[in-house]
Amino acid sequence: MAEGDYDVPEKIQPRPRLWIGILAGVIYGLTVRLAFGADSNANTAWFNTLTWAFLTFVPLTLGALTIYFSPKAKRDGVSSAFFLPWITSVVFLGVASVLALEASLCIWMASPFFFLVSGLGGVLMRFILRVRNSKSAGYILTLLMISPFLTSPLEARLSRPDMYRIVENHIVIRASPEIIWDEIVRVAPIQPQERRLTFFQLLGIPQPVEATMDVDSAGGLRHSTYENGMAFNERVLVWQPLELLRFEIVPDPYANLPLPFNEINGAYFAMVDGIYRIAPQPDGSVILQLASTHRLSTSFNAYGGLWTDMILSDLQQYILEIIKGRAEAKALAA
């Protein structure tokens, strides 16, 4: 060994470049997110986040960037290549949440895609680096980085299919149909002691507050409000006292709502109607059913429907439990 040549002790060697890959992935993800959110008109924009182009190529590239800039020792194993991009995904989604680029609901819905596809992107880049040199891998990485901008305009030219989904909940109430009917036609302001922590609240969806009715008949207008100012005008379509109440659901045009709630009844999602059914039972109890219909118009309706079904079911069960508590309290007091 020549004079002055020596091995650098491991403890003082430069730190691995893992954080460079994570930072590169986060910066790339935020850049594409800002570019795709520049035009909010879902009907005319070439670049939208609710597309396969965004939800596949962005996390795929995010994972590839993480592994491309990671030290060799960190990407040797398939499991490391798959799970390291999850760190980048968590940081990206967290920053998007802090900067209010996405609502909590959208982040939760996107997270399974980001974890899975970013992991696949990491494994893909590991394979490329093993069979190609870094220069070739860089060309492939560049192609991945521009892929969302190449494919999104093509996807925007395709029509989004409509899917109508029905969500049903029911509850057993020990009260008369008359008492229950009064509780569903109008919902008095919900009190703090009646509330509980729910799944839909964790996703950032506001709690219902009250519902009023102007005329007790078909054609009457039922007005329901929520905590963040969200409100719906619900025109009564079917009025069968003590049996059935059906109403269409249209957002109040005067409600000033933040994203994504101002997209309700928009290009991607719309509430259609709601139905209450009262079914007396032989033992004197009553089964109260609440059902709603909603429309999805995205490129991934089946996946989105899993989330909308869970959210609406949780919200409807929450409402039914409040009605049950109030009705049974009135029945006991009578």
The tens place of each residue's pLDDT in the chain, 334 residues long, gives: 444 444 444 444 444 467 888 999 999 999 998 888 755 555 545 667 778 888 899 999 999 999 999 887 777 789 999 999 999 999 999 898 887 666 667 788 889 989 999 999 999 999 999 888 778 899 999 999 999 999 988 887 777 889 999 999 999 999 999 999 999 999 999 999 999 988 888 887 889 999 999 999 999 999 999 987 889 999 999 999 999 999 999 988 877 665 555 555 667 888 999 999 999 999 999 999 999 999 998 888 899 899 999 999 999 999 999 999 999 999 999 7
DSSP string, 137-206: HHHHHHHHHHHHHHHHHHHHTSPPPPEEEEEEEEEEE-S-HHHHHHHHHSBPPPPGGG----HHHHTTPP
pLDDT value of residue 102: 63
Residue 11: its pLDDT value, please? 46
Contact 207, 220 (CB under 8 A): no
CA 203, CA 83: separation in Å to the nearest integer?
25
Q: How many helices and strands in the chain, by DSSP H and E?
A: 9, 8
E strand segments, 186-261: 208-213, 221-226, 231-240, 244-248, 250-251
**Checking phi first, is residue 161 left (phi over 0); if not, alpha (psi -120 to 50) or beta?**
beta
> Taking a C-beta distance cutoff of 8 angstroms, is the pair 309, 165 a contact?
yes
The span from the CA of 55 to the CA of 107, in Å, is 11
Q: What is the pLDDT of residues 123-155, one digit of tens each?
A: 999 999 988 877 889 999 999 999 999 998 888
Q: What pLDDT sits at residue 264? A: 58
Q: Please tell me the distance from the alpha carbon of residue 299 to that of residue 246, in angstroms, as a whole number.
A: 30
Q: Please, are residues 256 and 226 in contact by the beta-carbon 8 Å criterion?
A: no
CB 289 within 8 A of CB 265: no
pLDDT, position 48: 75
Please state, in angstroms and rounded to a whole number, the distance separating the CA atoms of residues 140 and 173: 62
CA distance 270 to 3: 76
In this structure, what are the phi and psi dihedrals at residue 230, rounded to the nearest 5 degrees?
-65, 135
pLDDT of residue 59: 95
Question: Which residues contact residue 237 at a Cβ distance below 8 angstroms, ignoring those fewer than 6 apart?
Answer: 218, 246, 247, 248, 273
**For residue 290, what is the enclosing H or E element?**
strand 286-296
Judge contact between 268 and 298, C-beta under 8 A.
Answer: yes
Q: How much is the pTM?
A: 0.81
Token pair, residue 123, equals 């494994």
